[in-house]
Structure 1
Amino acid sequence: MTLLVTGGTGFVMSVVARAWLERDPAARAVILDRSRLDRMAERHFAPVRDRLTVLTGDICDPAQWSGRLDEHDITAIVHGATVTPISRGSAGEAKRQPEADDPARIIDVNLMGTVRLLEWARGKPGLRRFLYVSSGSVYRHHGPDWAGEPLPEDGYVAPLTLYGISKFASEMVVNRYADLFGLSALSVRLASVYGPMDRATGSRNFRHVPNRVAHMALAGDVIRPNSLEPVGDYVHSADVAQAIIALLSAERLRYRHYNIGSGVTATIGDVIGWARERVPGLQVEVTPDERANIVQDVTLKDGMWGAYDLARIERDTDWRPRPGREAFLDYMDWIAANESAANGEGT
C-alpha cells in the first residue's frame, strides 16, 4: 500500500509517514509539501528513505503536483498540510495575533487546499481511505456540561480563530465529499501534540508546554511559569501516528470525527515534576509577570483545553495512548539522543 501524506516534512506528519513505513517493509509513502526535507527530516527518514518519495508543491495549486501524484498508486491519504498561526508560550508571544499577518493564506491553505486535494482524490478508484487532520481548536473553550467529564466529539464545536474555523469548515467539506463520491473519509481532532520532530517550520512555529519544559530542563535553564496550575491534554507525536495508522487500517469506522489525545489532563506542575526525574537539579520559579517564559491562562481548564474523550477511537481500534509520564520521559530521551546532532537546527 502507498500512503500520501501532505505536510509530511513538518512535525506530526513526518512521524506519521515514518511510522507507516516502519510497520510494513513492503509499504511505500509519498510526501507532498511545499518544503523539502531539512537536515533533521533527512536524518529522521534515513532508515526508510528508499521507500519514500518527496514531492514539493503548493497544496493550493494542483498543477504543481496532480500529474506527479498520478504516477503513484495511492491507496490512502493523510491530509495534514496546514498553516498553524498560533502564538502562545511566553509573555511577549501571548500578546501577538499572528493570524493578522496573512489571514487569507490561512483560509487558502487550510480550507481550499483541502478542496483541491479532495478534487484529485475523488477520481481515484483505488483510494481506500481519506483521513483529514483537524484540531481541537474547533471546540469551544468550555464543556462538557458535566464537571470532570472528557470532551466528546458531538457538540461543543464553536471555533473562534481563523485556524479553528478553517479546520471545522474543512471537516464539513470532507464529510460532504464522502457522501457525494462514496469516499471512506474521516477527520481526527488532535489535542496538544508534542514529541519527536517538533520544531519550527515555515507553517508552524509553536511549542506546547511539554516541548518547552523538556528543552529548558535539558539546557539547564530556569523555568519560569506564570502558574503551575494550567492544564492540557498533551499527547506524544508517536502515539498520534499510531492512532492515525490504526484508523487507516480499521475494517469499519462508525464515525466521521475522532478525538486523538491522552484522554486526561496534566498540569504544568506535573510536567515539571516528570522533567525533574531526568534533571534533578531543575530550577523553577513561578513568575506571574513579564519575566515568565511559560505562560498559560489559569482559567482555561475544560473545553478544548481539557481532557478529550477517546471512546470512539478506542471502540473502533485497539489503539491506546501511553501514560503521560512515560511518553514525556521518552521524549526527553529522544531529544538528548537526536537533537544534539542537529547543532541547534529546528529546536
Structure 2
Amino acid sequence: MKLDFYRGRRVLVTGHTGFKGAWLCGLLGLLGAETAGYALPPVEPSLYTVLGLERELRSVMGDIRDPDPLERLFDAFRPEVVFHLAAQPIVREGYRDPAGTFDVNLMGTVRLLDCVRRHPGVRSVLVVTTDKVYRNGDTGRPFREEDPLGGADPYACSKSCAELAVRSYAESFFASGPAVSTARAGNVIGGGDFAPGRILPDCVRAVLAGEPVRLRHPGSVRPYQHVLEALCAYLLIAARQAEDPALAGCYNVGPGPEGRVTTGELADLFCEAWGEGASWISAPDGGPPEADTLLLDCEKLAARLGWRPLWGIETAVEKTVEWTKCHAAGEGAADCARRQMAEYLSLFDGGDGGKA
C-alpha cells in the first residue's frame, strides 16, 4: 500500500480547514505533495490552526457553492488530484437547516465537479460522502456498495444525492478521464475534532468540565475508526485510480469487526484511556431518530486495493486521548499529530498493511 505517488504532485483539498481536511493536508505534506486548499475559514479552536497549515500550503477561503474563486484556484494551481471534503457534516444541523445542508452537500459537489469538467489536467478525484448514504432498514447486516442508496435524514439524503451527482458526471463527462470515486467512510475519531454532537468531542468536553459524559444512544452500534485509517484509504484510492482508471467507483471505508462497537463501549474505552475518574451516563434527550445499527462491509476495498485497517479501536481511542491531553496542556499538540501521522504512514507504507 505505497503512497509515494504523491511526491511532487499538485493536490487540491476542499474543506481543508475542517477536522479531516487538516489531517489530510498534514499527511500530504509528509508525503511530499504540493497542496492547495479551498474552504471556509476555520472555526476555532481548530486542528488547522494548531498544525500551522496556513504557513504550509496555498489556502483560499471561500464557499464551495461559489464557483468563481474555486475556478480561479483551479486555473492558478492546476491540480492533478482533487479530494472533495467540503461539506455540512453534522446530522443535527441537517434537521435545523435542511435546505442549507442540501445546498452545500449536493450543489457544492456539483460545483466542484463542474470545475473538474473544465480542467483536463485533473487525473483523479475522490468525493467523500458517508456510511449513512444507504437505505437503512436496521437489519444489522453490513452494507455493501451495491446496496440501495437512500439516507433518510437531510444530512444522509444530501450525501446520497451527492453520490448520484458523482455517478452522473462520471458517466456523462468523464468517460475519458479523470477517474472519479466516492468514499463512504464510517465514523472517524481522532485528535483535533471539536465539532458538536460527535461522541468523542462530547466525551472530551465533559471530562474537561469535570462532568460525566452524557450519551444519547449508548446502545447504538457504529463502525468507528481512527481518522488516519480513513484518510490513508482515501489517498490509496485516489493514487491507484490515477494509474488505473478501471479501479474508479464507490468504496466503503471502515474498520474490521473489532471496530463495530456500541457508543457505550466506545465511551468505556475513552474513560479507561483518560483515567482520572472519567465516567458516562445514559441521557436520552428526545432528539431526532437514529438507526440502532450501521455497519460496513469493506471487502471491495480490500480485494481491489489490498487495503486493511492497521489500528484497532483501542489504539484509535488511545491516540485520540494522547493528542487531546497534549492540546489541553497547551503544548506539543502539533508535534503529537505529526508523530502519529508518521507512525501510521510507517505501517501503511512499510509493508505491514498488505499488498496492493
- Report the AA paired with residue 66 of structure 2: D
1:11-39 deviation digits (Å, cap 9, x = unpaired): 11221121112122xx1111101225856
- Report the AA paired with residue 250 of structure 2: H
State the alpha-carbon separation in 1 of the partners of residues 136 and 271 from structure 2: 31
Normalised by the length of structure 1, the TM-score is 0.80
Which residue is equivalent to 1:165? Answer: 157
State the alpha-carbon separation in 2 of the partners of residues 121 and 16 from structure 1: 20
1:200-256 deviation digits (Å, cap 9, x = unpaired): 3xxxx431x233334534654223446653321112112211111111111435351
State the alpha-carbon separation in 1 of the partners of residues 90 and 284 from structure 2: 24
| Superposition pairs of residues 125-140 of structure 1, within 5 angstroms | 125-140=120-135
1:102-135 deviation digits (Å, cap 9, x = unpaired): 3322222111111111111112222111111101
Tell whether 2:252 aligns with 1:262: no
Which residue is equivalent to 1:316? Answer: 304
State the alpha-carbon separation in 2 of the partners of residues 67 and 286 from structure 1: 50
- Report the AA paired with residue 151 of structure 2: P
Which residue is equivalent to 1:246? Answer: 236
The alpha carbon displacement at 1:325 in A equals 0.7
1:288-312 deviation digits (Å, cap 9, x = unpaired): 566x9xx997x9443xx2x211111
Q: Which runs of 5+ in 1 are unaligned?
A: 88-97, 343-347
How has the CA–CA distance of structure 1 residues 28 and 44 changed in structure 2, closer, same or farther, with 3 Å as cutoff? farther
Which residue is equivalent to 1:14? Answer: 22
State the alpha-carbon separation in 2 of the partners of residues 163 and 231 from structure 1: 19
- Report the AA paired with residue 221 of structure 1: E
Among the aligned pairs, what percent are the same residue? 25
State the alpha-carbon separation in 2 of the partners of residues 230 and 150 from structure 1: 14
Contact 1:195/1:331 (<8 A) preserved: yes
More helix by share: 2
| Superposition pairs of residues 140-219 of structure 1, within 5 angstroms | 140-142=135-137, 149-182=141-174, 183-200=178-195, 205-207=196-198, 209-217=199-207
Tell whether 2:35 aligns with 1:29: yes
Task: Count the aligned residue pairs.
Answer: 314
SS in structure 2 opposite 1:65?
A: helix
Which residue is equivalent to 1:328? Answer: 317
Contact 1:243/1:319 (<8 A) preserved: yes
1:138-196 deviation digits (Å, cap 9, x = unpaired): 1123356xx6x522111142211222222112111112212222230010112112212
The alpha carbon displacement at 1:333 in A equals 0.4
- Report the AA paired with residue 305 of structure 2: T
Q: Aligned to 2:46, which of 31, 35, 40?
A: 40
- Report the AA paired with residue 33 of structure 1: A
Which residue is equivalent to 1:95? Answer: none
Q: Which runs of 5+ in 2 are unaligned?
A: 1-8, 332-356
Tell whether 2:82 aligns with 1:82: no
State the alpha-carbon separation in 1 of the partners of residues 95 and 49 from structure 2: 35
Contact 1:75/1:127 (<8 A) preserved: yes
